[in-house]
Structure 1
Amino acid sequence: MADPGRSTLPLPDYDHLPIGGLGSRVRSLTSDQVEEVLAYERSHADRRPVTELLTSRLEQLRAGAEPTSGDPGAMRPETGARRTGSPVSPATSPEPMSPPPHGTPDQRGKPKGDRT
């Protein structure tokens, strides 16, 4: 199969999809579409977990599995509502603490003259 271009892939923005969410997205693809994505993956990043996932799905489709419902163009989880700012506030911050210069707070250092 010829090397497909990024813009012709059946999964929009494929290069930026997280591997964890790829499995659910490829379930909606036909065997021809999975072959196209697999050819693109092998000729570009060739990530082993991704090629194994795509190869496994292709074998399932060839064995009679049908594409399931799903939207390959669905919003990616990483582009959802993002939190801004830090959840830490002065009310939830710990009290500042300076470590002792030597020893532990309950065991003070001994002056040199008292050593035996």
Structure 2
Amino acid sequence: MTQSESPRHEDLPLPDYDHLPLGTLPSRISGLDESAVNQLLEYERSHGNRLPVVQVLEHRVEALRSGAEPSGSANPDTPEVTSARGGSPVSPETSGPPVNPPSQGVPTNPAQPRH
């Protein structure tokens, strides 16, 4: 496959591929067959070309060629990463108690009296 023929993101066997942490990649690709892993490898080489990711994918292709079997699915137990909606998940109901400065003053300015 040439760079102009690299797989499109929409066609990848893992829809959240671009957002997978490297540490979860081996378990997420364990259910893929050789063709699907090769598709990810071609996509990676033509886009990010991150050496650690390429090495994980190449190792899996070699394992499959050596007789390893896909585990059945692309590990559905691993949560998919979704885009952040912005804002903090902390609310007044979930935040901790207020922190009061010590009686001798504010820690960052000891000369400042306590309110």
TM-score (norm 2): 0.68
Tell me, in whole angstroms, the C-alpha distance in 1 between the residues paired with 2:11 and 2:76: 13
Q: Residue 19 in 1 paired to residue 22 in 2? A: yes
Q: Residue 43 in 1 paired to residue 46 in 2? A: yes
Deviations 1:67-107 (A, max 9, x none): 1133356663544xxx93154333xx432241334xxxxxx
From 87, 100, 111, give the equivalent of 1:95: 100
Deviations 1:11-65 (A, max 9, x none): 1132222222221111011111111100000000011111111011111111110
Tell me, in whole angstroms, the C-alpha distance in 2 between the residues paired with 1:24 and 1:61: 14
1:34 alignment counterpart:
37
1:54 alignment counterpart:
57
Identity, % of aligned positions: 43
Tell me, in whole angstroms, the C-alpha distance in 2 between the residues paired with 1:37 and 1:77: 17
Give the structure with higher Rg (CA).
1
Unaligned stretches of 5+ residues in structure 1 = 102-116
Q: Secondary structure of 1:11's partner?
A: coil
Q: Is the CA contact 2:29–2:74 (under 8 Å) kept in the aligned structure 1?
A: no
Aligned residues: 96
Unaligned stretches of 5+ residues in structure 2 = 83-87
The alignment yields a C-alpha RMSD, in angstroms, of 2.4
Amino acid in the other structure paired with 2:110: P
Tell me, in whole angstroms, the C-alpha distance in 2 between the residues paired with 1:73 and 1:41: 22
Residue 9 of structure 1 deviates from its aligned partner by: 1.1
TM-score (norm 1): 0.68
